[in-house]
């Protein structure tokens, strides 16, 4: 007879409600008959251990969570994204909820490690109310010590994105990349924190679009916002962040001479000329259009003429890409800083090796591979 899991049905119902899914959707994701799911929720039937693990995995909750005597009282972190302000989305999709919760968990872990390690406070710049986007861009450029020449000379947008991530991590800001988000999910979001602020981006968007989103979220960070971004022009705040990001990525003192010499002394009207600007700075067409409009070298209609599909990944896997082993995928998703902090906590006796492996969901050989990659990255820095 299959072993049954004595879960608390009230906790299961709470987790289902927090996920934003209907019971039928959870049943389908967990490969459990819908009628049986209803029985789990009303407590008339207990799941088998196999069904229980499927439920926990689908809801992205630890197994022990479902044995709580009562549902948690802690407010849902998503409440911050339901304020009704123009910069927030009113409806959170299930995959966005999952990404937000995963981001919050990593933020809690890394902030705990940094606090236990007595790390000094992060130096996150803050801007006065009413700061112009041009001045905010200068703040970000100075804070990251951003090298616009290196940006232009980089081999690809992916290389610039890696450079941005390294600069952010050196200043304590985490960058997560979520492949679980969909094309119609948000572009990215920001969870601020004094010890471990996190920017998250949607990998359905191509590297150039992700790069624009990263700097857009950094603009939110120095404003002191909490934001989940969908339509980047849905409010004056979103447009301000978009303009700030574009000015970081295509500085005026470099852009205007280039336009005058190599493109046109008048206004840019063609998508091909906009693409020349995008290719020079390894940025998206959308970012290039925003920049051209802001320096009055293109009409505002240029932005609306850009096909939304140009922001998304296209084609199949890159045949020259490194084989997508578990360590490669973990570092791509989490960056270097999260595993580096976990290994530091292990070396300080704050975590065991088993705990580090569980957090990263890797076996001993895979953890050794990640550790080697970090050492190599540090040596090349």
pLDDT tens-digit map of 247-271: 999 999 999 999 999 988 899 999 9
Whether residue 101 has pLDDT greater than 50: yes
pLDDT at 264: 85
pLDDT at 210: 97
307 is a domain residue: no
If asked whether residues 42 and 99 sit together in one domain, one would say no
356 is a domain residue: yes
If asked whether residues 49 and 99 sit together in one domain, one would say no
70 is a domain residue: no
SS percent in the chain: helix, strand, coil, step 5: 60, 5, 35
If asked whether residues 108 and 8 sit together in one domain, one would say no
* Mean model confidence pLDDT for the chain: 89
Whether residue 362 has pLDDT greater than 60: yes
If asked whether residues 339 and 214 sit together in one domain, one would say no
Over residues 110-114, the mean pLDDT reads 96
pLDDT at 281: 98
292 is a domain residue: no
If asked whether residues 154 and 219 sit together in one domain, one would say yes
pLDDT at 290: 96
User: Does residue 221 contact residue 187 with C-beta atoms inside 8 Å?
Assistant: no
Residues 66-91: tens digit of each pLDDT: 888 888 765 445 544 433 333 444 57
If asked whether residues 178 and 237 sit together in one domain, one would say yes
Domain-ending residue, one of 217, 250, 283: 250
Tokens, residue 360:
């990263």
Whether residue 309 has pLDDT greater than 90: no
Among the listed residues 275, 321, 269, the one whose alpha carbon sits nearest the alpha carbon of residue 300: 269
Q: How many CA atoms lie within 13 A of 307 on its CB side?
A: 6
Whether residue 358 has pLDDT greater than 50: yes
Is 0.75 surpassed by the pTM of this model?
Answer: yes
If asked whether residues 336 and 235 sit together in one domain, one would say no
Count up the domains in the chain and report the number: 3
Whether residue 222 has pLDDT greater than 80: yes
pLDDT at 4: 85
Among the listed residues 205, 230, 200, the one whose alpha carbon sits nearest the alpha carbon of residue 313: 205
Angle between helices 34-42 and 23-30 (to 10 degrees): 120
Whether residue 204 has pLDDT greater than 60: yes
pLDDT at 232: 58
Domain-ending residue, one of 250, 276, 292: 250
Residues 11-53: tens digit of each pLDDT: 999 888 877 678 888 999 999 999 999 999 999 999 999 999 9
If asked whether residues 159 and 11 sit together in one domain, one would say no
114 is a domain residue: yes
pLDDT > 90 in the chain, percent: 69
If asked whether residues 43 and 99 sit together in one domain, one would say no
Whether residue 298 has pLDDT greater than 90: yes
Whether residue 356 has pLDDT greater than 70: yes
Among the listed residues 53, 5, 55, the one whose alpha carbon sits nearest the alpha carbon of residue 27: 55
Over residues 306-323, the mean pLDDT reads 80
Domain-ending residue, one of 250, 280, 301: 250
Q: Strand 188-191 to strand 174-178: parallel, antiparallel, or no bridges (unpaired)?
A: unpaired
pLDDT at 337: 97
pLDDT tier at 198, thresholds 50, 70, 90? very high
- 123: helix, strand or coil: coil
Question: What domain range is 358 assigned to?
Answer: 326-380
99 is a domain residue: yes
72 is a domain residue: no
Residue spans of beta strands (DSSP E) within the chain: 174-178, 188-191, 198-202, 227-229
pLDDT at 83: 37
The CA distance from 285 to 307, in Å, is 9
pLDDT at 233: 55
Q: Strand 174-178 to strand 198-202: parallel, antiparallel, or no bridges (unpaired)?
A: parallel
Q: Which long-range contacts (CB under 8 A, 24 or more apart) does 4-7 make?
A: 4/46, 4/47, 4/48, 4/49, 5/46, 5/47, 5/48, 5/49, 5/51, 5/52, 5/66, 6/46, 6/67, 7/40, 7/46, 7/47, 7/52, 7/66, 7/67
Taking CA atoms, 319 is separated from 177, 269, 323, in Å, by: 21, 35, 9
Over residues 133-149, the mean pLDDT reads 96
Range with the poorest average pLDDT among 153-157, 172-176, 271-275, 310-314: 310-314
pLDDT at 259: 95
pLDDT at 82: 36
- 359: helix, strand or coil: helix
Whether residue 150 has pLDDT greater than 90: yes
pLDDT at 79: 43
Whether residue 352 has pLDDT greater than 80: yes
């Amino acid at each position: 007879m299959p072993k049954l899991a004595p879960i608390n049905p009230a906790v299961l119902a709470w987790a289902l409600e927090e996920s934003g899914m209907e019971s039928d959707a959870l049943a389908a994701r967990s490969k459990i008959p819908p009628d049986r799911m209803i029985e789990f929720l009303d407590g008339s039937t207990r799941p088998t251990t196999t069904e229980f693990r499927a439920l926990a995995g689908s809801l992205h909750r630890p197994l022990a969570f479902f044995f709580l005597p009562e549902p948690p009282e802690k407010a849902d972190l998503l409440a911050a994204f339901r304020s009704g302000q123009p910069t927030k989305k009113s409806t959170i999709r299930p995959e966005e909820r999952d990404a937000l919760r995963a981001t919050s968990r990593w933020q809690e872990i890394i902030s705990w490690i940094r606090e236990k390690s007595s790390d000094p406070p992060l130096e996150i710049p803050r801007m006065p109310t009413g700061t112009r986007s041009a001045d905010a861009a200068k703040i970000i450029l100075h804070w990251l010590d951003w090298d616009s020449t290196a940006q232009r000379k980089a081999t690809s947008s992916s290389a610039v994105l890696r450079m941005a991530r390294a600069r952010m991590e050196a200043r304590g800001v985490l960058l997560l990349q979520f492949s679980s988000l969909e094309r119609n999910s948000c572009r990215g979001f920001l969870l601020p924190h004094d010890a471990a602020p996190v920017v998250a981006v949607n990998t359905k968007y191509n590297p150039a679009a992700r790069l624009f989103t990263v700097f857009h979220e950094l603009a939110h960070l120095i404003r002191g916002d909490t934001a989940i971004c969908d339509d980047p022009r849905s409010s004056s705040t979103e447009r301000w962040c978009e303009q700030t990001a574009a000015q970081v990525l295509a500085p005026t003192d470099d852009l205007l001479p280039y336009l005058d010499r190599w493109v046109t002394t008048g206004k840019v009207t063609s998508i091909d000329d906009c693409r020349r600007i995008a290719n020079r700075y390894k940025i998206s067409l959308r970012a290039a259009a925003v920049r051209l409009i802001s320096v009055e070298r293109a009409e505002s209609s240029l932005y609306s003429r850009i096909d939304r599909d140009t922001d998304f990944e296209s084609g199949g896997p890159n045949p020259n890409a490194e084989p997508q082993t578990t360590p490669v995928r973990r570092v791509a998703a989490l960056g270097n800083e999260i595993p580096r902090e976990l290994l530091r906590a292990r070396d300080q006796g704050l975590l065991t090796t088993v705990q580090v492996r569980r957090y990263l969901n890797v076996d001993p050989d895979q953890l050794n591979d990640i550790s080697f990659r970090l050492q190599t990255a540090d040596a090349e820095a």
